[in-house]
């Protein structure tokens, strides 16, 4: 079989009959080549390319690609890169878990907004360093703010330090304080 086609679109087997193809009247093609590739295309530009020699599969859609299923697993043995030209949105109906074996980096070009409707916790076994080139505003609407340390708390400013309380300010220490 060199090719199956309707008379007006004969692809044939080309030189040495190395290409086998099936083509429909509407322009859909399945092409098998002796260099071990299979290409399935339609007239709109959708394409599935199975490259046996390179051990790759490429799927191309000029517009939207949708995957629908009950469950999905994606296993990548080495590296994975995702590039999105404009916006990305992720919606998870229940829980989300992410584990990173080594380092994680997040870079945001403008504003980051995190909204948590319940409790939030951050556990760090090493050192935490925050470098902020603007103001820090921390506000507790209900309850209190607690800062604990086994080795002391140091507050310093190149300007003044101001404390306000609607009630009393308590300084409790195991030894006499040095206020001046």
DSSP lists the bridge partners of residue 50 as 38, 57
157 within domain boundaries: no
pLDDT, tens digit (0-9, with 9 covering 90-100), for 68-115: 999 999 999 999 999 999 999 999 999 999 999 999 999 999 999 999
Place of tokens 């995190």: 114
**Tell me, what's the pLDDT at 15?**
66
167 within domain boundaries: no
Q: Which domain holds residue 45?
A: 3-60
How many residues make up the chain in this entry? Answer: 180
9 within domain boundaries: yes
23 within domain boundaries: yes
91 within domain boundaries: no
19 within domain boundaries: yes
In this structure, what is the dihedral angle of CA atoms 120, 125, 127, 132, given to the nearest 10 degrees? -10
**Tell me, what's the pLDDT at 164?**
87
Whether the CB-CB separation of 96 and 81 falls below 8 Å is answered with: no
Domain count, the chain: 1
d(CA 101, CA 98): 10
DSSP lists the bridge partners of residue 39 as 31, 49
**Tell me, what's the pLDDT at 14?**
60
**Tell me, what's the pLDDT at 5?**
52
Burial of residue 21, with CB atoms counted within 10 A of its CB: 0-12 exposed, 13-18 middle, 19 or more buried: buried
Whether the CB-CB separation of 14 and 26 falls below 8 Å is answered with: no
143 within domain boundaries: no
pTM for this entry: 0.67
Torsion sign, CA atoms 67, 73, 75, 80: positive
Checking if the pLDDT of 4 tops 70, the result is no
């Amino acid at each position: 079989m060199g090719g199956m086609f309707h008379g007006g679109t004969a692809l044939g087997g080309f030189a040495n009959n190395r290409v086998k193809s099936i083509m429909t009247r509407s322009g859909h093609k399945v092409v098998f080549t002796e260099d071990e590739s299979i290409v399935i295309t339609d007239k709109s530009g959708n394409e599935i390319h199975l490259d046996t020699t390179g051990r790759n599969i490429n799927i191309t859609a000029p517009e939207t690609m949708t995957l629908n299923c009950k469950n999905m697993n994606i296993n990548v043995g080495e590296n994975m890169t995702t590039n999105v030209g404009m916006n990305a949105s992720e919606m998870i109906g229940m829980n989300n878990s992410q584990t990173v074996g080594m380092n994680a980096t997040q870079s945001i070009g403008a504003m980051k907004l995190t909204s948590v409707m319940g409790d939030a916790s951050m556990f760090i076994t090493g050192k935490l360093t925050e470098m902020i080139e603007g103001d820090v505003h921390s506000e507790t609407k209900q309850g209190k703010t607690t800062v604990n340390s086994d080795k002391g708390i140091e507050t310093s400013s190149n300007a003044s330090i101001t404390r306000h309380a609607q009630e009393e300010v308590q300084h409790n220490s195991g030894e006499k304080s040095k206020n001046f």
